[in-house]
Amino acid sequence: MRLALALAVLIAVAVAGCGSDDDASTTTAASGAAVTAADLDGRSFVSTAVGGRELVAGTEVTIRFEEGTLGVNAGCNSLGGTYAVEDGTLRWNSAPAMTMIGCEPPLQRQDDWLLAFLSDGATITAPTARTLSLEHDGVTIELAEGASATQPPPIAGTAWTLTTISDRGGTAASVPAGVEPPTLRIVGGQAQVFAGCNRGSASVQVRDDGFAVFGPLKLTRKACDRAAMAVEREVTSVLSGRAALGFSGADLSVAKSGRHLVFRAG
């Protein structure tokens, strides 16, 4: 009887011990779950702390993931390109596009460092549901989800949606009701455009003098209603040749010949 009881106790302890191990491993796996590109799509993050490197005073790192594109800004130029997350490492999988704004030397060096940081590949983890941590070569960037309070999103890699059209007389109007808002996204030297009716692309160079130079815009040839076609004419007239770029807060302005298009990220 005593032997049977002892065996029963040993079996119970063994089973409890196995259960504890399983529970612990399950908890560890959940808290350290791998980050995937699908987890990141459509989200923006801003740095809250950088270890192992001191950022230029008054700057922060902002990143945005949008339809397979990673856009980054650290206070001067915008960088953007397609990316991948593989085996816990985030990196651009092709040479990213970079705007060519003339930066002060410390900002330029910071841009060059960030370019190398993500080209080499950074270990990516998600300490919580709304934070990310990137680590490479002794430098760690801690980020929290949300928009920057001090700088606009990156020009390259961000999906921009048209909110306002201003004509030569300075009259501003929203996109008419019933018209799908046009969009602009610059990736790898190409401007991907939905103009209000048709879709297409053009080559684009964002220069260091505050201008972008658009090549010929090649669009589909679908016919739409009068309102959509009117919006499309405004969009295509500005996204052609040399156009001035500027920011009002976080909104991107593209202007040419007295016409202004104002885009918002998202």
**Averaged pLDDT, 80-84:** 89
Task: List, for residues 98-139, the tens digit of each pLDDT value.
Answer: 776 667 889 889 999 999 999 999 999 999 989 999 999 999
CATH 2.40.128.270 is the classification of domain 37-145: yes
The dihedral over CA atoms of 46, 75, 38, 48, expressed in degrees to the nearest 10, equals -20
On the question of a common fold for 37-145 and 160-265, the answer reads yes
Which pair of tokens denotes residue 88? 């816990």
Query: What is the architecture of the domain spanning 160-265?
Result: Beta Barrel (2.40)
pTM over 0.75: no
Q: What is the pLDDT confidence band of residue 13, given thresholds at 50, 70 and 90?
A: very low
What are the residue boundaries of the structural domains of the chain, listed by start? 37-145, 160-265
Give DSSP secondary structure letters for 192-256.
Answer: EEE-SS-EEEEEEEE-TTSEEEE---EE------HHHHHHHHHHHHHSSEEEEEEEETTEEEEEE
pLDDT at 142 over 90: yes
- pLDDT value, residue 141: 97
